[in-house]
């Protein structure tokens, strides 16, 4: 017994010591991170050396908005890898265009962690940069189709002699859970409006419905066509030939990439450096003065909150839910407050809402829609859509004066659904658990997972879904100046690519956030302005600790489960849903 207690308390002491050490290491890491950030800030305000080259890579995930706390460039998913949001990436490329010290851009695209519309926005900014007559060189050990699309803007496109390149066309895959749930004796009760509203199909079918397959083929085809247009124009290869390369798998060896004119040469990194030295006119023995994108900023890289005239940019990113939300979700209270603050601020002359959301709660969407309509009456209100702005994401956008989207933005999905799992048989037959209930009224326990809904309850819930769809289509019809019947004909939960959404009047113009802001400035008739962003950030310490916890869990789960983790996360999110959902069937794995 004595040995037991000795071992027991020894173990406790060991755990305490380990926790203390981990805490000290974590604090030390944070302190070092802060020092590095301030060091970078100090460097950023100094004058660059002549013949500098802007260095860009995209290893870290690219969010729409860069964090403005002291840990802005600390990426917890990779424990220290630098990260910038799309806003600062675009801003700094534009800055480099006018900077006489910057002679060109070098992109290392071995990794690219971004959505297709985000890539489109960066690519368009680089195309504009080329108007300065400065060079862009791209290099990679392995080009994915997405990274190659971005690289195709380069004046010179290089690949490692033993590298790899994908060029095979796009594919989308969806995992279906129906049989697994049946094996567990779980019945999922579905309520929906819209034959294309396929977010719940994985729980009721074993494969895509014909409607879902049709919409997927159409929007995937539009995205691929947009990519082919861009590559064809920059590389001088016809779209027919590009499709032939993909269909016939012509890209069999590294040399094929050169022969087919997809890349300019097969070079090792040191050889690419030699090419850059030649381009900027320095000797082979000299070191190239690279400035990393994260370090490249001027002393005015801050918001001017005291400016006379402002354009407010409100970021609505993530799934939509009621309540406060956070930087990774759209909480209706938080975003509604941000819109209200921008509306009531007399120095704000126009509002741009940046939407990157697959949707979520229909009720929360309507709360924000109301604030959009009020703001629109007070000042110009423009929407800029990111990678996805569909279902609830479209709901909060539809009342805007003008909507911008990229050709490969996923949007539309005007439809709603509800879902209730019935785990009665799982509990009783698989686990031997019975649940007894006492109600004061006949339907007091409606919505419980411990029994199926009755026919009366099914009619009642379906009526609620139909009513939400009716309101949704009315909102869109009013905002887009269409009839409700016209909206229904392109609604029904159908997903559209931005290029197709333009044709059916769901969006007004193709373009990114910069174009939306430029239009806002024009209609507000401003000569000078500053940009102010909403919603205001949380306390830096709270944000960093929250991110550390979330990212640590995600990293561990991804490491152990790989791609399967995406499906697990999807399943968890669906089972947590409350109320009627205006949500995109966005859990496609597209590659």
CA distance 586 to 318: 12
Assess contact for 479 and 402: CB atoms under 8 A. Answer: no
Identify which of 89, 145, 156, 98 has the alpha carbon closest to the alpha carbon of residue 121: 89
Lowest mean pLDDT among 289-303, 308-322, 502-516: 289-303
What is the pLDDT, as a whole number, of residue 68?
Answer: 61
Assess contact for 467 and 461: CB atoms under 8 A. Answer: no
Say how many C-beta atoms besides its own lie within 10 A of residue 183's C-beta: 10
Across 369-394, average pLDDT: 97
pLDDT bucket at 303, cuts 50 / 70 / 90: low
Percent of the chain beyond pLDDT 70? 78
Q: Is the pLDDT of residue 2 over 60?
A: no
Assess contact for 106 and 290: CB atoms under 8 A. Answer: yes
Q: Is the pLDDT of residue 443 over 90?
A: no
Q: Is the pLDDT of residue 339 over 80?
A: yes
What is the pLDDT, as a whole number, of residue 93?
Answer: 96
C-alpha to C-alpha distances, 547 to 25, 84, 328, 542, nearest whole angstrom: 17, 15, 10, 9
Token digits of residue 44: 């950023």
pLDDT bucket at 109, cuts 50 / 70 / 90: very high
Q: Which of 226, 365, 391, 499 is catalytic?
A: 391
What is the pLDDT, as a whole number, of residue 423?
Answer: 86
Across 363-382, average pLDDT: 97
**189 vs 220 pLDDT, higher one:** 220
pLDDT bucket at 566, cuts 50 / 70 / 90: low
What is the pLDDT, as a whole number, of residue 16?
Answer: 52
Kindly give the interhelix angle for 116-129 and 210-235, rounded to the nearest 10 degrees.
20
Which stretches of 352-454 are DSSP H helices? 362-378, 392-395, 424-425
CA distance 518 to 535: 21
CA distance 216 to 589: 12
The backbone region for 505, taken as left when phi is positive above 0, alpha when psi lies in -120 to 50, beta otherwise, is left
Identify which of 43, 58, 55 has the alpha carbon closest to the alpha carbon of residue 276: 55
pLDDT digits (tens, 9 = 90+) for 340-372: 999 999 999 999 999 999 999 999 999 999 999
Percent of the chain beyond pLDDT 90? 57
Residue environment code for 285-310, b if the CB has 16+ CB neighbours within 10 A, otherwise e:
eeebbebebbbbbeeeeeeeeeeebb
pTM exceeding the 0.75 threshold for the entire prediction: yes
pLDDT digits (tens, 9 = 90+) for 272-287: 999 999 999 999 999 9
pLDDT digits (tens, 9 = 90+) for 124-140: 999 999 999 999 999 99
For the question of residue 361 being annotated catalytic, the response is: no
Assess contact for 437 and 445: CB atoms under 8 A. Answer: yes
Across 422-446, average pLDDT: 87
For the question of residue 397 being annotated catalytic, the response is: no
CB-count burial class (<10 Å; 0-12, 13-18, 19+) for 377: exposed
pLDDT bucket at 465, cuts 50 / 70 / 90: confident
Which stretches of 105-253 are DSSP H helices? 116-129, 145-151, 178-183, 210-235, 239-247
Domains in the chain, CATH or no CATH each: 46-167+251-295 (3.90.226.10), 310-590 (3.90.226.10)
Q: Which of 156, 197, 310, 379 is catalytic?
A: 197
Q: For residue 238, report the phi and psi dihedrals to the nearest 5 degrees.
A: -65, 155
Q: Which range has highest mean pLDDT (24-33, 251-260, 547-556)?
A: 251-260
């Amino acid at each position: 017994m004595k040995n037991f207690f000795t071992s027991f308390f020894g173990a406790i002491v060991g755990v305490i010591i380990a926790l203390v050490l981990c805490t000290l290491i974590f604090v030390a890491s944070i302190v070092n991170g802060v020092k590095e950030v301030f060091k970078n800030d100090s460097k950023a305000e100094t004058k660059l050396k002549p013949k500098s080259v802007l260095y860009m890579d995209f290893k870290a995930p690219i969010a729409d908005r860069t964090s403005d706390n002291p840990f802005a460039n600390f990426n917890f998913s990779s424990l220290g890898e630098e990260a910038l949001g799309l806003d600062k990436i675009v801003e700094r490329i534009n800055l480099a265009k006018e900077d006489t010290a910057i002679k060109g851009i070098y992109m290392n695209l071995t990794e690219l962690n971004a959505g297709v519309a985000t890539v489109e926005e960066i690519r368009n900014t680089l195309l504009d940069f080329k108007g300065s007559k400065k060079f862009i060189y791209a290099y990679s050990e392995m080009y994915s189709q997405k990274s190659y699309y971005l690289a195709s803007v380069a004046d010179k496109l290089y690949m490692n002699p033993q590298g790899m390149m994908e060029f095979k066309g796009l594919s989308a895959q969806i995992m279906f859970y129906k049989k697994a749930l049946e094996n567990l004796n779980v019945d999922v009760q579905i309520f929906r409006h819209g034959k294309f509203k396929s977010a719940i199909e994985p729980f009721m079918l074993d494969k895509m419905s014909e409607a879902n397959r049709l919409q997927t083929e159409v929007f995937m085809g539009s995205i691929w066509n947009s990519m082919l247009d861009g590559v064809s124009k920059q590389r001088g290869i016809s779209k027919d030939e590009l499709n032939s390369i993909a269909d016939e798998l012509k890209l069999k060896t590294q040399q094929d990439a050169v022969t087919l004119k997809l890349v300019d040469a097969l070079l090792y990194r040191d050889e690419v450096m030699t090419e850059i030295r030649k381009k900027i006119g320095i000797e082979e023995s000299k070191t190239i003065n690279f400035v990393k994108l994260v370090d490249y900023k001027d002393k005015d890289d801050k918001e001017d909150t005291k400016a006379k005239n402002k354009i407010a940019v409100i970021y609505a990113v993530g799934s939509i839910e009621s309540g406060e939300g956070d930087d990774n979700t759209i909480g209706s209270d938080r975003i509604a407050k941000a819109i209200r603050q921008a509306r009531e601020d007399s120095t704000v002359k126009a509002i741009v809402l940046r939407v990157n959301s697959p949707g979520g709660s229909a009720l929360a969407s309507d709360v924000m829609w109301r604030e959009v309509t009020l703001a629109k009456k007070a000042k110009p209100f423009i929407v800029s859509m990111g990678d996805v702005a569909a279902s609830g994401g479209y709901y909060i956008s539809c009342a805007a004066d003008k909507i911008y989207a990229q050709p490969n933005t996923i949007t539309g999905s005007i439809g709603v659904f509800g879902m209730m799992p019935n785990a009665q048989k799982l509990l009783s037959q698989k686990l031997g658990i019975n649940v007894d209930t006492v109600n004061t009224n006949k339907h007091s326990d409606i919505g419980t997972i411990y029994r199926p809904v009755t026919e009366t309850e099914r009619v009642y819930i379906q009526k609620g879904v139909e009513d939400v769809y009716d309101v949704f289509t009315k909102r869109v019809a009013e905002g887009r100046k269409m009839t409700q019947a016209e909206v229904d004909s392109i609604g029904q939960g159908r997903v559209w690519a931005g290029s197709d959404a333009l044709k059916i009047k769901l969006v007004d113009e193709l373009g990114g956030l910069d174009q939306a802001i430029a239009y806002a400035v024009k209609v507000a008739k401003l000569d000078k302005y500053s940009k102010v962003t909403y919603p205001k950030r949380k306390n830096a310490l709270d944000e960093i600790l929250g991110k550390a916890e979330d990212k640590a869990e995600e990293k561990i789960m991804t490491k152990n489960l790989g791609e399967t983790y995406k499906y697990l996360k999807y399943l968890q999110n669906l089972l947590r849903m409350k109320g009627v959902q205006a949500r995109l069937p966005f859990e496609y794995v597209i590659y």
